[in-house]
Amino acid sequence: MIISYFHEPFFDEAQAWNIARSASIKEIFTFVPHYEGHPPLWHLILAPFAKSGAPFHLSVSLVNITFCTAAMALLLFKSPFPKAIRCTLPFTFFCFYQYGVISRPYSMMMLAFMLMAMTYKNRNEKPWRYIFSMTFLCLTTSLGLLLAGGLCLVWTYDIITQLIKEKKMNRFYADKRFIPLCFILACAILILITVMPADNCYYVGADMEYNILDLLKNISNTLAFLYLPYESWSGTLVNQYYNYTSDMFRCYLEAFFGLICWIALITITKKNNKLLTFLVPYVIFDIFLSYHYSSLHHIGISSTFHIFIFWIITEENGKVELPDFFGKIGSRLKSPLIRKIAGTGLCGLYLINVVFSGVSSFNDIRYSYSLQPVADFIKENDLEDRKIIAAWSFDYAKIDPDNVNGNSIFYDFAIPSNHPKVISNHTLMSGIAATLMPYFDHNIFMNFNNYKYKDDLYLHYEYKEDKEAVFNSWEEQGLPDVIVGYCPIDEVYDYATFKNVRYAIIYECKFHVNFKLHTTDSRTFVYMREDLLDEYPQLSAIYNPKIAGEYVPETEKEK
């Protein structure tokens, strides 16, 4: 609760609140999931708070903390782990910070896994409890649907194997587990229909034609597959945007540690008769993350699943049986000093997760995590009623493939400014606008949701649009007074309109995204037309970028 108080909600948290506030219940069920890619449960839970006018930050934090607290309470008081494990797991990075402080449906997913672990042991005698827990997992995220599907496949295989062994296969349909399994299958099909991406849904790779062989040959995908079990606990390889470090040695090193984790998990689960229960759902999940789509917060689902697996093993056997070769390795470490060093190293690899939570929490208190200061700035200076444009998503031509800085759209941060040619515009996608919407009671941006979804306060992941019609609707409103975030508005307004018009930077918002030991520094500028500055004596240009001559767009240069 303390860290959440200091945490400024970022885009994902704001987007969910915007949907809960402005989308109808019918749209939350039938329209939104086709673009969000997740079941509607999280939005439905937020809806009573959002639609009643409850405060954004307080509401999303309390809802998230409620689910997180329930999950950690079950872990503390119902799990079979030793007390030292039970008292430290809640403070590991994903349990505490990533899923506890940042408000998203993964707190519900943690609770679902704890409920599943509690009901697993008696699943054959009381199948409905286990089924309802897995159905809850399916309703939290689409990735939960993958894991629950894998677990159901293994359970069905175990049931059929048992009935064949007992020569009772003809009684399969009369088995008390049959109807519960049919129930979750029906739920899964319904959820799949609900979240199936729409034809014009934008997502990573929406326009790409995937070749399975090319994906399998891609070394980065294979490395990602290998390092997941290690990265979900002690690894520090990936940064805030799930990118590889440029140091390929570290990539291969962490993949090596990940391979050791894979071997350990496979041999331990095999020794404890849970190999298929671990392997089938986890491989399905890891393949999806490594070869199709992943983000940094998805990594923690791996560690949560590990907690579930070791919970059911410990509860069933009273302890975790280790493979014989673990004992052989231990017997070779005859020196007490070496044994202590090895033990300390293993404890350190586990407890480093608590350090990750501490570092991320400290950075969250120290720095802004998101754009809330921009909303405060707009309110403090009475800018809501001005014509404001927020930066939208666009792609631009690469200048020099070997020069990262040369490929940046941000040449000098001036508006207007010379910039690389813009290849495509996704005008419906404005993360800045969506992040700021919860702090205002109406849409303050003249370009957000264009002419198509004027009453909606959430971002629409549509990428097939009539760009000319969109730009014409903006142009009819005239030049903006204020711009939030750098954007190529010369794509919208012609050169004559821009003649002798300049925008001055009046506010700079610095924010930091935290992930384990990493923090990424970012900034967003607020601009105002220079001829309007006299109306706001409290404001002044705070940053004057160097301008290389008069701004002339590419089209004018060609003329």
Measured CA angle at 409 (ends 407, 412), to 5 deg: 110
Query: How many other C-beta atoms are found inside a 10 Å radius of the C-beta of residue 405?
Result: 9
pLDDT in tens, 70-82: 999 999 999 999 9
**2-28: average pLDDT:** 96
Identify which has the larger pLDDT, 265 or 549.
Answer: 265
Higher pLDDT, 315 or 208: 315
Q: Band the pLDDT of 516: cuts 50, 70, 90.
A: very high
Nearest alpha carbon to residue 294 among 243, 357, 235, 233: 243
Q: Residue 507 — pLDDT band, cuts 50, 70, 90?
A: very high
Q: Is the pLDDT of residue 242 over 50?
A: no
Q: What is the pLDDT of residue 295?
A: 87
Distance CA 437, CA 456 (A): 10
The pLDDT value recorded for residue 549 is 44
Residue whose token pair is 């992040």: 435
What residue spans define the domains of the chain?
Answer: 1-201, 372-558
Burial of 72 (0-12, 13-18, 19+ CB in 10 A): buried
Average pLDDT over residues 13-36: 96
510 pLDDT more than 80: yes
The mean pLDDT value for 281-302 works out to 92
Task: Tell me the range of 109-113, 234-238, 504-508 where mean pLDDT is highest.
Answer: 109-113
Of the candidates 308, 284, 317, 269, the one whose C-alpha atom is nearest the C-alpha of residue 119 is 308
Could you read off the pLDDT of 433-465 as tens digits, one per residue? 999 999 999 999 999 998 788 889 999 998 888
Task: Dump strand ranges (E) for 285-348.
Answer: none
Average pLDDT over residues 475-500: 89
Q: Render 193-260 in DSSP notation, one character per residue.
A: HHHPPPTTB--TTTT----HHHHHH-HHHHHHHHHHHHHTTT---S-TTSPPPS-HHHHHHHHHHHHH
Read off the DSSP letter of residue 171.
G
Residue 71's contacts (CB-CB under 8 Å, 6 or more residues apart) are: 95, 107, 110, 111, 113, 114
Q: Phi then psi for 206, rounded to 5 degrees?
A: -60, -35
The SS3 assignment for 347 reads helix
Task: Check whether 406 has a pLDDT greater than 50.
Answer: no
Supply the pLDDT for residue 236: 84
Q: What is the pLDDT of residues 150-198, one digit of tens each?
A: 999 999 999 999 999 988 888 888 899 999 999 999 999 999 999 999 9
Structure tokens at 259: 């391979």
Task: Give 53-63 pLDDT, tens digit per residue.
Answer: 999 999 999 99
Q: What are the structure tokens assigned to 99, written together?
A: 């899923």
* Statement: residue 238 has pLDDT above 90: no
* Residue whose C-alpha is closest to residue 241's, from 523, 524, 518: 518
- In the prediction, which pLDDT does 461 show? 92
Give the per-residue pLDDT at 548: 38
User: With pLDDT > 90 as the criterion, what percentage of the chain qualifies?
Assistant: 65
pLDDT at res. 250: 79
Pairing state between β 388-390 and 482-484: parallel
Strands 518-529 and 482-484: antiparallel
Question: Residue 143 pLDDT > 50, yes or no?
Answer: yes
For the cut 80, the answer to whether the pLDDT of residue 339 exceeds it is: no
| pTM of the predicted protein model | 0.92
What is the average pLDDT across 110-130? 97
Phi, psi of 422, deg, nearest 5:
-80, 125
Q: How confident is the model at residue 547 (pLDDT cuts 50, 70, 90)?
A: very low
Confidence of residue 247 (pLDDT cuts 50, 70, 90): low
Q: 243 pLDDT exceeds 50?
A: no
- Nearest alpha carbon to residue 175 among 100, 139, 239, 123: 123
pLDDT of res. 334: 67
Query: Residue 180: what pLDDT?
Result: 97
Q: Is the pLDDT of residue 555 over 80?
A: no
Q: Residue 336: what pLDDT?
A: 78
What local confidence, expressed as pLDDT, does residue 275 receive?
Answer: 97
Provide the token pair at 501. 């018009």
pLDDT attached to residue 552:
53
pLDDT of residue 346: 85
Residue 65: the pLDDT is 98
| pLDDT for residue 298 is more than 80 | yes
Q: Cβ-count burial of 370 within 10 angstroms (0-12 exposed, 13-18 middle, 19+ buried)?
A: buried
Angstrom distance (rounded) from CA 85 to CA 64: 23
Q: What is the mean pLDDT of residues 28-44?
A: 96
pLDDT confidence of residue 465: 82
Buried b / exposed e along 525-558 (16+ C-beta atoms within 10 A): bbbbbeeeeeeeeebeeeeeeeeeeebebeeeee
* pLDDT (average), residues 368-385: 96
